[in-house]
Structure 1
Amino acid sequence: MAKNSSLVGGQSLMRTINYRVILVQVLIVVFLCINFLLITTFFMKDFFYTTMRYILFATTLMSDCFILIITNVLLIYDYFRSTLQIWLCLSLCAFLSVCTLVTPITLTAMTLERYVAICMPLQHAEFCSTHRALPCIFIIHGLSAIPCIVDLSIFFASATQNFYTQDRICSVELFTFHSWQGHLRSAISQIYFLIMCITIVFSYVKIMKVAKAASGENKKSTWKGLRTVILHAFQLLLCLIQLWCPFIEGAVLQIDFMLYINVRYFTYISFYLAPRCLSPLIYGLRDDKFFIALKYYALCGLYKNNSFHLTD
């Protein structure tokens, strides 16, 4: 009887996980379709890829697409208990580590762009010109790569030669050889997000002062920029919570395995997938010019609007 109960419980667990994996696949497909449509819209009009804020927006979209694809691949491999060679797993995890930081750092850069546009309008054309976009993207990716470079340096110094050719279930924990690595990784991430939060708060306060002093159309535009900064701050908060998830999941795992499965599923949906759908909400739908172009291409040119031909 105990054996049969165990079997039924095991089958129920597999069914539950299976339903969850299917739900994740549906969400990822939806998010990827939305992001690909937004990226296509970005490249269809030269106004967008010659404007700083849209270039930064496209950077977050492409980074989020990479994150969704790679995490989904690793999720499927983990679900079927499939193994990868260590060198391939290392490459995927390193690339994922960089992309994970690209989104919040780019959001911070977008917040600064709004700050310059609203608080320093005369300098906006100079500071946020198209020819500054590429160096800005290089800086964003360079800053995003620093924690990854630190991790890789420790890994290469600690791993043996035959470790690279082993087949293992791919996980970031494979590359943690010392207990202090997790603390170092957490400390670096906390420093990054502390700087980002200070930047967000600084921009919010400055824009708030301008919003109170503005009038008419300027006031409306300023308050819209302020709402955008608030949404960026909320998205950064979700990204920040990602840092706490491994510690929470590790503590729950010591208590109950089923609870660990539920918590891990919840954190993946709430703090990994959810932030990746907020970028389209913030800029893809709230930005009037981008929304007009998006409707035009989404409806295959059936939607007509006099302001579609963007010249400013």
Structure 2
Amino acid sequence: MADNNSVSGGESLHWQMTDRVTIVQLVVLIFLCINFLLTVTFFSKVYFYTTMRYILFAVTLLSDSLILIMSNILLILSYLHFTIQIGLCVIIYILLVLCTFITPVTLTAMTLERYVAICMPLRHGELCSTRITINCIVIIHSLSSLPCVIILSIFFASAPQSLYTQHTICSMGMFVFLQWQNNVKLAVYQFYFLILTITIIFSYGEIMKVAKAASGEDKKSTWKGLRTVVLHGFQLLLCLIQLWCPFIENAVLQINLKLFIDVRYFNYIMFNLAPRCLSPLIYGLRDDKFFDALKCNTSFGFHCVKNNVQISIV
């Protein structure tokens, strides 16, 4: 009887995992299609790829798309119990960690762009030019690569040479051997969390002051910018909570395997997939110019004439 219950429980868990993996495939496919449409729209007009906020938006789209693809591949490999060489896993880890930090750092840069546009409108053209944007992207990628360099340096210093040729199921937790390594990793994540959160709060407070003092059309535009900052803040919060997920999952794993699987699935949906669907909402739907261009691309040209007139007036 005990064996039958064990087999039944194992089969139930297997079918539950199959359903979850299938749902993730559908969600990832939908988001990748949306991101593809938004990327095509971005390159459809010169105004978009010469304006700072849209360029940074495109950076988040590419970063989010890469995270969706890479994390989904790891999910499928883990589900199939497929092992790969640890050297290849290191490469995947580098890409994932880099993109994981690119999104929140870029969101913070986008918030600062809104701060400059609303609080320093006379200097917006100077501080948010195309040249400054390129420099900003270089800084974003440099800052995003630092955690990866620190974590991998610790890993390379402590891992034996024979480890790189071994085959295993690729997991982000495999790069931490000792507790002090885990502490260093957590300290780096918390430092980024603190700095980015302070930047968001500062921008929100300054824009709030301008919003209260503004009037008429300026007030309407300012409050719209304030709502954008709030959405950035919420999206940033979800992205930063994702940085804490490995530590929560490791603690849960010590308690119960089934609970660990449930928590890991919830974290993946809530803090990995969900933040990636907010970018299309913030700039794909709420931004009038971008939404007009998006309708033009998705309506086979039926709305292009009208929207082009609207865009030229603005």
* TM-score tier (shorter): over 0.9
Question: Aligned AA for 2:85?
Answer: Q
Q: Identify the residue that residue 146 of structure 2 maps to in structure 1.
A: 146
After superposition, residues 1-312 of structure 1 pair within 5 angstroms as: 1-308=1-308, 310-311=311-312
SS of match in other structure, 1:302: coil
SS in 2 for 1:170: coil
State the one-letter code of the partner of 2:220.
K
Give TM-score, length-normalised by structure 2: 0.96
Offset at residue 305 of structure 1 (A)? 4.9
Alpha-carbon distance in structure 2 between the residues aligned to 1:281 and 1:155? 38
Letter in 2 for 1:132: I
- Stretches of structure 1 that go unaligned for 5 or more consecutive residues are none
Alignment check: 8 A CA contact 1:292 1:305 kept = no
**Cα distance, 1:65 vs. partner?**
0.3
Deviation above 3 Å: which 4+ runs of structure 1?
309-312
Identify if the C-alpha distance between structure 1 residues 175 and 251 changes in structure 2 by more than 3 Å, giving closer, same or farther: closer
Give the Å deviation of 1:299: 1.7
Structure 2 distance, partners of 1:137, 1:77, is 32
Contact 2:210/2:222 (8 A) holds in 1: yes
TM-score, normalised on structure 1? 0.97
Amino acid at match of 1:164: Y
Give 1:57 shift.
0.3
Amino acid at match of 1:66: L
Counterpart CA distance in 1 for 2:160 and 2:110 is 42
C-alpha distance in structure 2 between counterparts of 1:245 and 1:162, whole Å: 29
Give 1:250 shift: 2.0
- What CA deviation, in whole Å up to 9, does each residue of 1:218-254 have, x standing for no partner? 1100000000000111111111211332222222222
Stretch of structure 1 that moved more, 159-168 or 96-105: 159-168
Which residue identity does 2:205 align to in structure 1? V
Matched length: 312
**Deviation (angstroms), 1:192:** 1.0
**Is residue 105–residue 140 contact of structure 1 (8 Å, CA) maintained in 2?**
yes
- Deviating more after overlay: 259-268 vs 76-85: 259-268
Q: Give 1:302 shift.
A: 2.2
* Partner Cα separation in structure 1 for residue 213 and residue 266 of structure 2: 43
RMSD: 1.2
Report the CA distance between 1:189 and its aligned residue.
1.2
**C-alpha deviation, 1:159, in angstroms:** 2.1
